[in-house]
Structure 1
Amino acid sequence: MWILNFLNSQAISDSMVKLTEKEGDFVIILQANNLTKRFNGEPIFSDLSLTINSNSKIGLVGQNGAGKSTLLKMLVGETSPSEGTINQKKNLTIGYLPQNTGLHSDRTIIAEMRLAFSTIIQEEAQLHKLEGQISDPKINSNPAKLAEVSKTYDQLQADFTLKNGYGYRAEIRTVLAGFGFYEADYERNISELSGGQQTRLALAKLLLEKPDLLALDEPTNHIDMETTAWLENYLQSYNGALLVISHDRYFMDKVVNEIYNLDHGVMDYYKGNYTHYVAEKVHRQAIAEKNFEKQQRKIKKEEEFVQKNIARASTTKRAQARQKQLDKMNVINKPKATHGTAHFRFTPERKSGNVVLDVDDLGVGYDNVELSYPINLHLKNHQRMAIFGPNGIGKSTFLKTILGKLSKIRGTFQFGTGVSVGYYDQQQASLHPEKDVLHELWDDYPTIPEGEIRSILGSFLFSGLSVEKSVANLSGGERARLLLTKLSMNKDNFLVLDEPTNHLDIDSIDVLEKALLNFAGTILFISHDRYFINRLATDIMELGADGSKIYMGNYDYYAAKKAEEAEIEEHENETNPTVTKAEPVSDTKQRYQANKAAQREKRKLTRLIDELETKLTKIDDQKSEIEQAMTLPENYNDNEKSQALQTQLDEVTKAQTAAETKWENASLKLEEY
């Protein structure tokens, strides 16, 4: 992670010019032209061009190994192009977060974050020094000196305010809280933190430094869903440019509005978010194939005419003319085939009854430690229900309980008539490490000919020697595809899936989505992939310590309803006193309720701090006006006016002190959360 002023970057062409060109109201801050990169003489990509404006929000996508990270490193100056130029705006600052890289420092968390505001902190110290001088009787009695000090103070305060000087502490708290760090963590040494925590802090510091361009390589790799949602909201309003590589499609949909797709060594541009890019890419591919086929038919027709007529005296001139047209024709290259992707279907052997699963007041957990209760679910045929909830609340435990792999703690559950269950375990425990790929499937279906088994495996991208690989030596993605192969062979009508998209690349996930959308059965699944959930889910079950709650819609609907519920609850808690329930509450429920109360209090304190910061800004303006008035001859030569102004100044200073005290108390209280 680093932030760099690019005046002397080697990535810039020697002929770099100051970019002043504009698109709309926004300045072009970076322009890459005809970039080529070779390794061992072989090109990874060739002749790429890219433009970044001061407000650009760009996603860089493409297959693994296409060269996305290499291109990003080139644009930020970490590597140089084999050919081509990169021109940048003068004094451009870029914040770069490489993939899986953390913040390495011997400082504490708070000390490291304050470095992002070193200039503001210096100005703050200078302001306090000037305030002391203004209050000094020796300077007060010297109008010329007082006017000079007051002028310096006003200029410095204006710059300090413009840089959010009164709010930088709150900004640090907000960003750190967004990444899961609170006041109790502030004095922890960064070198003692985990790799994931250091990665989150690296990103937090970049956000606080506010570079002109944020270049992020897989920024959501080490953060949970809640933190990712916070980051999305932050980046949507980021006052700068963004260039991001990410496999999180929902994240890309939320934060980018331009896509550059790097594929087969060339790059295409799409205006819009990730969903638009996917649709437009298919559209462009179809048009390219149609135009190619149309031209091929025309070429074939013309060639046949030439062959038939070139030797006949009556038609030879026409044939020659046609041949000249063929020679001059700009031949369209055959569109490159898309990368190899799995293609499969889930086809139930029989239909189930309308009722698939009934769960009533179920309690789940381990060793009689209850994680969630009461869980109620009435799942009907053709529903596709996603299960949501914080880590450790019992989502996988619930699935294993209804499948009989774990004992229930209390309550009941029952499958409907004709239900056959297929289970995808995120741990992939049902695979046999000692078997090879071929026999992992063939041993379960020994009556199916080997050729057909190989054909089925081929549809899941296992072909040739890859079917002889042992399961133990497969990658995570290969094991996931093998487990899906077995699941598709079972022909069950109720699929229970625990994180089925883990380890799969985007193309394979897209194929899985389509297969599940076409599945004529019922699906109950857990996933952290919000894009996958959004496309697939018809309903969402939220799991918490106090049981389950059903939302009839996809992820977007769920997120909107949760925001609405939070607003309603906050309003009710502000207008109605808290009522203590008479019945005993379990420790788990108490922790859950305490957490919700803490969230409400955090929102109230945040609003109060914002109000106080606005008030302090107004008070500072009043104070400056009074101090300026005190320097005027008609005031300091008139004892009555001078005394009145001094009284006003004392009152404003008193109000400032009171507001600052309230702000400090509220800030300290917020940090406790």
Structure 2
Amino acid sequence: MVLLQAVQIAKSFGAHKVFSGLSLTVQEGEKAGIVGVNGAGKSTLLKILTGHLAPDTGEVTRVRDLSLSYLAQGGGLDSEKSIWNEMLTVFTPLIDMEKQIRDMEKQMEDASPVDESVNRQLLENYDNLSALYKSRGGFTYEASIRSVLSGLKFSDMDLATPVNTLSGGQKTRLALARCLLGEPDLLILDEPTNYLDMDNLAWLEQYLQSYRGAVLVVSHDRYFLDALAKVIYELTPAGLTRYTGNYSAFIQQKAVLLEQQLKNYTRQQSEIARQEEFIRRNMAAKDTTKRAQSRLKSLEKMERLERPGQERRVALSFNVVRPSGMEVLKVQNLGVGYTDLTLAHGLDFQINRGERVALVGPNGIGKSTLLKTIAGLLPSLEGQVTLGSHVQIGYYDQEQQGLSGDKQVLHELWDRYPSLDEVDIRTVLGRFLFRGDEVKKYVRDLSGGEKSRLTLAALMLQKANLLLLDEPTNHLDLPAKEVLEEALDGYPGAILFVSHDRYFINKTATRVLELTTDGLSSYLGNYDYYLFKKSEREQLENENRCTSAEPAREESAEKKQYLQKKEEERQKRMRRRRVEDLEQAIADLEENISRLEAELFLPEVYQDYQACRKRQEEIEEARRQLNDHMEKWLSLVEG
């Protein structure tokens, strides 16, 4: 069933056309992602789909009574309520229903036994409302709140904390929690992975994979889209194109489509050139003028294909002035933090030339602080950092604090490299998509993505042989991330980087360092291999804990086979006895339920609120036991 459909929608702001002719369909239970470069209009599209903006032309239709939740990009909650009370607002209808049930219980308690018809109707209404309350999660909504808050890292917080005292990132995570708790038919999320660490991301992926409703999400997180999406929509200046599959499938299909479009365009251009040459040679000749005119008319009517759009892409490459020695960086017993706060201590690791090391760990553990300490921007609390021979550090700051807001883009770069002339600086800025008058923009007026590109341009010109990168993919769109990955792949120096972008880590890292409260753990390989080895280690540790300290005595193969056969026979006998016991218990419970249900219609019961309630509780308990016994019986019979 189609939940939402947009047909030929267009939107402009003044003279600026954002997009036109876009069509999109969201099916029941579908998980779809929207990708595109920064500024393509993805957030605007979501606002139109959710009714927060009206399209200039076109139409958006939604199925009747569609429940929809929308998380805007950076859309944090602004509330004076506590965290817990704010989450309870999602379940206001259930809470109101619970109050009705309590009121009905009070009415039954105070009811006169004389009016049997009124009491019978009240009891029936009470049963119906109680069943509805239970089916809608009346007994589980508080557990759902705690589960979602735990998954989004609120479990360690005091849930009485007022929402308006939280940080921006926490408010955004709380807004996401409220969207998820509503369990709508359609979730529309704009960059939901912002402000989430890797544990949060893994939890959100699992939650949404098993989510029964449909999900439409805008995201730059390719790992997230690979795990969740079954459909990808790409928004470009040419329109909205639908691809079936996850992000990796989209990349493959897009490459095939682009290749075919280019072939068609090239073939048509060759045909046009051939026809134009024929017309040129034959138009003036008396015998062939009509043929030439006929071909000219055909050529004029031909629907011309546009050259497949080549996206404006950053042209990035990293090189070094001078290679370093084999040992690039050695950290010994290092403590990092601030005078009043130690974030990590006793850190030991080494990085060699050519290594690409990803530093991962929960937010606040000290990853960025460690990079700043190695870069010399912060003093170490203990231990030492030793650089190898001829090592030159290039540091990328995720906050871009090194940029001067009162400078123009041109002079921000030129002042750092005054030996270059203006043409060289403009050429470099052009490679990073700053062209024409864009180089005269003031740094303070740049977007997050533009500041990231400017910082990367300065880093490229530095030609350092050790790169310390702190969240380099933040604010970059997908094409820019891909260019950065390609540039780092060909870089001859060493890299130590912090990133929450798991796709980027997978493509770039040759080793993963995990920073926890217990210290550093090293894993050779990329992010997927790190997850595999970490899971393997945890499983091994669990097995070691469960293994008995007393060594098992060796037994002969024949004895083992005999004992195994005897054990299997014993298990079969036990299973038969258990099945018989369960069948008898099920029969007893079914008889008991029938007896209790019949008693509900006795005058001395339905006229007595306490007796009626007691029978209802006994019936519910008997049914619970019956379901439990039936599940056990099925598992034994089928096993």
Q: Measure how far apart 1:91 and its partner are.
A: 1.4
Q: Which moved more, 1:525-534 or 1:420-429?
A: 420-429
Residues 373 and 546 in structure 1, CA contact (< 8 A), matched pair in contact too: no
Q: 2:146 aligns with which of 165, 170, 173?
A: 173
Q: Measure how far apart 1:348 and its partner are.
A: 2.3
1:310-389 counterparts in 2 under 5 A? 310-316=283-289, 318-338=291-311, 340-367=312-339, 370-389=342-361
> Quick check: 1:515 aligned with 2:487?
yes
SS of the equivalent of 1:185 reads coil
Q: 1:291 aligns with which of 251, 260, 264?
A: 264
Q: 2:199 aligns with which of 208, 221, 226?
A: 226
Q: Which moved more, 1:312-321 or 1:508-517?
A: 312-321
Deviations 1:569-599 (A, max 9, x none): 566667899xxxxxxxxxxxxxxxxxxxxxx
Q: Which moved more, 1:359-368 or 1:372-381?
A: 359-368
Output the CA distance in 1 between the equivalents of 2:104 and 2:212: 32
> Quick check: 1:542 aligned with 2:542?
no
* CA distance 1:33–1:106, change in 2 (3 Å): same
Q: Measure how far apart 1:301 and its partner are.
A: 0.8
Output the CA distance in 2 between the equivalents of 1:275 and 1:96: 26
Calculate the TM-score normalised by the size of structure 1: 0.74
Determine the structure 2 residue equivalent to 1:532: 504
* CA distance 1:96–1:447, change in 2 (3 Å): closer
* CA distance 1:412–1:102, change in 2 (3 Å): closer
> Quick check: 1:95 aligned with 2:61?
no
> Quick check: 1:420 aligned with 2:386?
no
Residues 318 and 488 in structure 2, CA contact (< 8 A), matched pair in contact too: yes
Residue identity in the other structure for 1:629: R
Q: 1:452 aligns with which of 401, 424, 444?
A: 424
Output the CA distance in 2 between the equivalents of 1:549 and 1:162: 47
CA RMSD of aligned residues (A): 4.2
Q: Measure how far apart 1:279 and its partner are.
A: 3.9
Residues 102 and 202 in structure 1, CA contact (< 8 A), matched pair in contact too: yes
> Quick check: 1:248 aligned with 2:221?
yes
Deviations 1:408-440 (A, max 9, x none): 444444334444332223344555566654454
Q: Measure how far apart 1:54 and its partner are.
A: 0.6
> Quick check: 1:60 aligned with 2:20?
no
Output the CA distance in 2 between the equivalents of 1:436 and 1:412: 39
Q: Measure how far apart 1:343 and its partner are.
A: 0.5
Residue identity in the other structure for 1:169: E
Residues 533 and 554 in structure 1, CA contact (< 8 A), matched pair in contact too: yes
Q: Identity percentage over the alignment? A: 44
Deviations 1:472-500 (A, max 9, x none): 66554444333322322232332222222
* CA distance 1:130–1:562, change in 2 (3 Å): farther
Residues 150 and 628 in structure 1, CA contact (< 8 A), matched pair in contact too: no
Q: 1:239 aligns with which of 198, 212, 224?
A: 212
* CA distance 1:193–1:476, change in 2 (3 Å): closer
* CA distance 1:576–1:81, change in 2 (3 Å): farther
Residues 57 and 255 in structure 1, CA contact (< 8 A), matched pair in contact too: yes
Q: Measure how far apart 1:542 and its partner are.
A: 0.9
Determine the structure 2 residue equivalent to 1:589: none
Determine the structure 2 residue equivalent to 1:608: none
> Quick check: 1:272 aligned with 2:245?
yes
Residues 66 and 265 in structure 1, CA contact (< 8 A), matched pair in contact too: no
* CA distance 1:65–1:394, change in 2 (3 Å): closer
> Quick check: 1:73 aligned with 2:47?
yes
Residue identity in the other structure for 1:80: A
Q: Which moved more, 1:159-168 or 1:625-634?
A: 625-634
Residue identity in the other structure for 1:92: L
Q: Measure how far apart 1:566 and its partner are.
A: 4.8
Residues 623 and 653 in structure 1, CA contact (< 8 A), matched pair in contact too: no
SS of the equivalent of 1:30 reads strand
Output the CA distance in 2 between the equivalents of 1:487 and 1:210: 45
Determine the structure 1 residue equivalent to 2:598: 632
Output the CA distance in 2 between the equivalents of 1:212 and 1:622: 42
- 5+ residue gaps, structure 1, are 1-26, 578-618, 638-644, 660-673
Determine the structure 2 residue equivalent to 1:32: 6
Determine the structure 2 residue equivalent to 1:14: none
Q: Which moved more, 1:516-525 or 1:114-123?
A: 114-123
Deviations 1:97-147 (A, max 9, x none): 2233333445443333333334444555666788899999998x9999999
Residue identity in the other structure for 1:115: T
Determine the structure 2 residue equivalent to 1:614: none
Residue identity in the other structure for 1:523: I
- 5+ residue gaps, structure 2, are 550-584, 604-610, 626-639
Determine the structure 2 residue equivalent to 1:588: none
SS of the equivalent of 1:632 reads helix
Residues 205 and 228 in structure 2, CA contact (< 8 A), matched pair in contact too: yes
Residues 627 and 649 in structure 1, CA contact (< 8 A), matched pair in contact too: no
Output the CA distance in 2 between the equivalents of 1:443 and 1:112: 50
Q: Measure how far apart 1:308 and its partner are.
A: 1.1
SS of the equivalent of 2:469 reads strand
Residues 337 and 380 in structure 2, CA contact (< 8 A), matched pair in contact too: yes
Residues 361 and 412 in structure 1, CA contact (< 8 A), matched pair in contact too: yes
SS of the equivalent of 1:346 reads coil
Q: Measure how far apart 1:524 and its partner are.
A: 0.9
Output the CA distance in 1 between the equivalents of 2:412 and 2:588: 79
